[in-house]
Amino acid sequence: MIIRAPKDFWSGIMFLCFAGVALYASSFYSMGRGGRMGPGYFPTLLGAVLAILGLILVVRSLVIRGDALEKMGWRPLLALVACVLLFAAMIQPLGLVIALSTTTFLASFAGPDWRLREAIFLSAGLTLAAVLIFVLGLRLPLPLWPSL
């Protein structure tokens, strides 16, 4: 088996995975009938369509030549996702000031050229701006400091 169109192949696999999850989960919801659709009716329909489309993509990728995969840029992606998760972990116990300054400081690592002084000033400036705009200006219910 030769994969002639890797991009299409892996797209197809991705859609098949989602279709599988959708069909599996929907099997627990009642289908109902056409005239009285149950909660499982529409998702099952969509899951089936998605599975067919995924299958077409996979089969076609074995026959028709297509684009090769691009190189994955792991560093920016993982750094950014890690920052987001870090923010999630910090916001409630530590408050906006600490969470945001840490997140934006570390986020600047994700880029190709990184400068320490710039990153410090940037994260300080952004945190100040965020406090002014979101907490003082818009009065959003954000904890500012660690709750003791």
Binding residue (CB under 8 A) for another protein from 2, 112, 117, 148 = 112
Nearer to another protein, 3 or 130 (CB): 130
- Report CA-CA distances (Å) from 127 to 22, 37, 96: 41, 50, 8
Pairwise CA distance, residues 40 & 23, whole Å = 9
Residues with Cβ < 8 Å from 77, sequence gap 6 or more? none
Q: Does residue 18 belong to the site contacting another protein (CB under 8 A)?
A: yes
Question: 68: which 2 tokens?
Answer: 């090769």
Q: What is the DSSP letter of 35?
A: T
Q: Does residue 62 belong to the site contacting another protein (CB under 8 A)?
A: no
Binding residue (CB under 8 A) for another protein from 65, 68, 76, 124 = 76
Nearest alpha-carbon partner for 93 in 144, 39, 26 = 144
Nearest distance from residue 49's CB to another protein, in Å?
5
Binding residue (CB under 8 A) for another protein from 43, 62, 94, 95 = 43
Q: Does residue 72 belong to the site contacting another protein (CB under 8 A)?
A: yes
Nearest distance from residue 77's CB to another protein, in Å?
4
